[in-house]
Structure 1
Amino acid sequence: METLLVYFENIPRHHRVIIIVGGIAFFWIIEGVIPRFKFNYKKWRHAVPNLFFNLTLLLINLPLAFMLLKSADWVVANDFGVLNWLPGMPLWLYIVLGVIMLDFFGAYLPHFIEHKVRPLWMVHLVHHTDHEVDTTTANRHHPIESVIRFFFTLFGVFMVGTPIGLVLLYQTLSVLATQFSHANIKLPKKVDRALSYFIVSPDMHKVHHHFKMPYTDSNYGNIFSIWDRLFGTYMELETEAIVYGVDVFPDEKKNGNLKDLLLQPFQKYRKPTSDD
């Protein structure tokens, strides 16, 4: 376990890029073999705007990584944060607790808030207006949202008190987990359900992308499903009933056009309610 932390503490930037690109490529191939939905679309054309947003995520996060490094070094040096206030524990438990807590502050919490605060929902809308959710949708986030989520992760570093190796391990697992949960893959229902008790499975997260409330406001988790179950935001819906998109923003052409997506957060728009 110590070797793992040392590796991520010194992980080269190109290794991180390889992991992200490799994850998309892997799940892209699996989608072609066991698809959950048989979309009537040109996969490469659909992927273009999504991959653009994957690229902007990299361009935003890599230069800002020094802030994570400085913050992680500070919390360790000053024994600040929950992990540093707990009694001594085995390294494996230290890593597991650190990743679980970072998953809350860096993923569940900002995702929940984005759905509840109107201006943030407008930014997050870009992620939800994909009508064919697949692994390329995973990081289809407007650049503004990428910045917002980065600072939530930074906040998590202070609250949890994690060294940089653990932070970068969390970020790597987070990217792979979201690529997996968005992937258009069909797992046996018993397998998917069993996974959903511990991690966010593909069918669990697909409920979150259903076009109508209240399902849109559920299953916010990224790596672990514990937070949805703990805070009562877990919901189920038969996969066959799921329709992707947002019901009051149905224009598939605009929702697949890069220019329109970049401008989407600035449009006048009413978030739907469960009564719609």
Structure 2
Amino acid sequence: METILNYFETIPSSHRSIILVGGITFFWLLEGAVPLFKFNYKKWKHAWPNLFFTVTTIVVNFGLAFLLLNTADWVKANNFGIINWLPEMPLWLYAVLGVLFLDFFGAYLAHFTEHKVKTLWMVHLVHHTDHNVDTTTANRHHPLESVIRFVFTLVGVFLVGTPIGIIMLYQSVSLIATQFGHANIKMNRKVDKLLSYVIVSPDMHKVHHHNLLPYTDSNYGNIFSVWDRLFGTYMELDRDKIVYGVDTFPDEVANSNLKELLKQPFKGYRKPTNLEELPQ
């Protein structure tokens, strides 16, 4: 574990790029071999706005990375944070707990908050208005959301007390996890269900992308499924019944247009429809 953390502590930017591009490439090819849904789309055309937002996410995170580094150095120097206040433990457990708690603050709590605060929901909406969810959807986040997510991660680093090696490990695992969860791949249902007891499986996360409440407001996790199960936000829905998108923003053409997506956070607030409110 020490070797792994030492590697991530000084991981070259080129290696991080390999993780990003390699993950997208791997799941892109896997989607072609075992697709969950056979989308009637031109895959590269669909991917264009999603890849644009992937680049803006990289730019935001890179531009603000010095804040993470300075915070990580401070908590280490001052022995501050949750995992530093716990009794002495093996290094592997220290790293696992660090990643687990960062997953809560940087992913689950950020995601949950975006769904509950109106202005943040409108920013997060860009991610949900993809009508053909696949691995490129993973980083389809408006630049404003990239900043919001970064702030939550920064707070997590401060409260959890994670050194830079664990932060880089978390971000790398988080990246692959979100690509996996969004990938349009058809796994054996039992295998997927088994995985969902520990990590966020593809079928579990796809429920979150259903176009109606209450499913849209469920399954917020990214790496670990424990947070949804612990806080009662875990839900199931037969994957064959899932309809992607947001029913109050149904225009697929507009939702595929980069200019429209950049303006989307500033449109009128509308949440998905509650199933109970639908006419019988």
* Contact 2:105–2:155 (CA under 8 A) maintained in structure 1: yes
Shift of 1:269: 2.9
* Cross-structure match for 1:187: 187
Match of 1:36 in 2: 36
What are the ranges of 5 or more consecutive residues in structure 2 without an aligned counterpart?
A: none
Counterpart residue number, 1:78: 78
2:211–2:272 contact (8 Å) kept in structure 1: no
3-state DSSP class of the match of 2:223? coil
Q: Given residue 245 of structure 1, which amino acid in structure 2 is its aligned partner?
A: G
**Cα deviation, residue 270, structure 1:** 1.7
Q: Counterpart in 2 of 1:229?
A: 229
CA shift at 1:64, angstroms? 1.3
Residue 117 of structure 2: aligned partner: 117
Letter in 2 for 1:248: T
Match of 2:198 in 1: 198
Partners in 1 of 2:84 and 2:270 — Cα distance? Answer: 44
- Unaligned runs of 5+ residues in structure 1 are none
Structure 2: which amino acid aligns with 1:265? P
* Whole-angstrom CA distance in 1 between matches of 2:49 and 2:101: 31
Which secondary structure state, in structure 1, belongs to the residue aligned with residue 139 of structure 2?
Answer: coil
Per-residue CA shift, 1:216-255, capped at 9, x if unaligned? 0000000000000000000000000000000010000000
Equivalence for 1:101: 101
CA shift, 1:63, in A, is 2.1
Identity rate of aligned residues, in percent?
72
Partner amino acid, structure 2, of 1:148: I
Q: Deviation per CA, 1:108-132: give whole Å up to 9, x if none.
A: 0010000000000000000000000
Runs of 4+ in 1 over 3 A off after TM superposition: none
Is 1:131 matched up with 2:131? yes
CA distance in 1, matches of 2:245, 2:124: 12
Name the structure 2 match of 1:216. Answer: 216
The one-letter amino acid of 1:37's match is F
Partner of 1:239: 239
- 2:100–2:224 Cα contact (<8 Å) kept: yes
CA distance in structure 1 between the partners assigned to 2:17 and 2:122 by the alignment: 28
Counterpart residue identity of residue 180, structure 1: F
Aligned length: 276
Instruction: Give runs of aligned pairs for residues 6-21 of structure 1, distance below 5 A.
Output: 6-21=6-21
Give the counterpart letter for 2:144 in structure 1: I
Partner of 2:175: 175
Distance 2:272 2:177 in 1: 28
Q: Secondary structure of 1:138's match? A: helix
- In the alignment, the residues of structure 2 paired with residue 161 and residue 167 of structure 1 have an alpha-carbon distance, to the nearest angstrom, of 10
Cα drift, residue 90 of structure 1? 0.4
Give the CA deviation at 1:140.
Answer: 0.2
Q: Could you tell me how far 1:273 is from its partner in structure 2?
A: 4.1
List aligned pairs for 1:50-61, cutoff 5 A.
50-61=50-61
**Is 2:228–2:234's contact at 8 Å kept on the other side of the alignment?**
yes
In structure 2, C-alpha distance between the alignment counterparts of 1:169 and 1:64, rounded to whole Å: 18
What is the alpha-carbon distance in structure 2 between the residues aligned to residue 248 and residue 11 of structure 1?
Answer: 43
Match of 1:24 in 2: 24
Distance in 2 of aligned mates of 1:236 and 1:154: 31
Deviations 1:35-64, CA, capped at 9 Å, x for gaps: 000000000000000000001011111121
Q: Which amino acid aligns with 1:157?
A: V
Q: Secondary structure at the match of 1:89?
A: coil
Q: CA RMSD in A?
A: 0.7
1:160 aligns with 2:160: yes
Partner of 1:64: 64
Equivalent AA in structure 2 for residue 233 of structure 1: T
Deviation at 1:91, TM superposition (A): 0.6
Residue 130 of structure 2 aligns to a residue whose secondary structure is coil
Moved more, 7-16 or 108-117: 7-16
- 1:254-265 matches, within 5 Å, as 254-265=254-265
Take 2:272 and 2:147, find their aligned partners in 1: how far apart are those partners?
25
Structure 1 position 271, deviation (Å): 1.3
Conserved in 1, the CA contact under 8 Å of 2:129 and 2:255?
A: yes
**Partner Cα separation in structure 2 for residue 135 and residue 8 of structure 1:** 24
- Deviation of the 1:272 alpha carbon: 2.8
Distance 1:88 1:28 in 2: 42
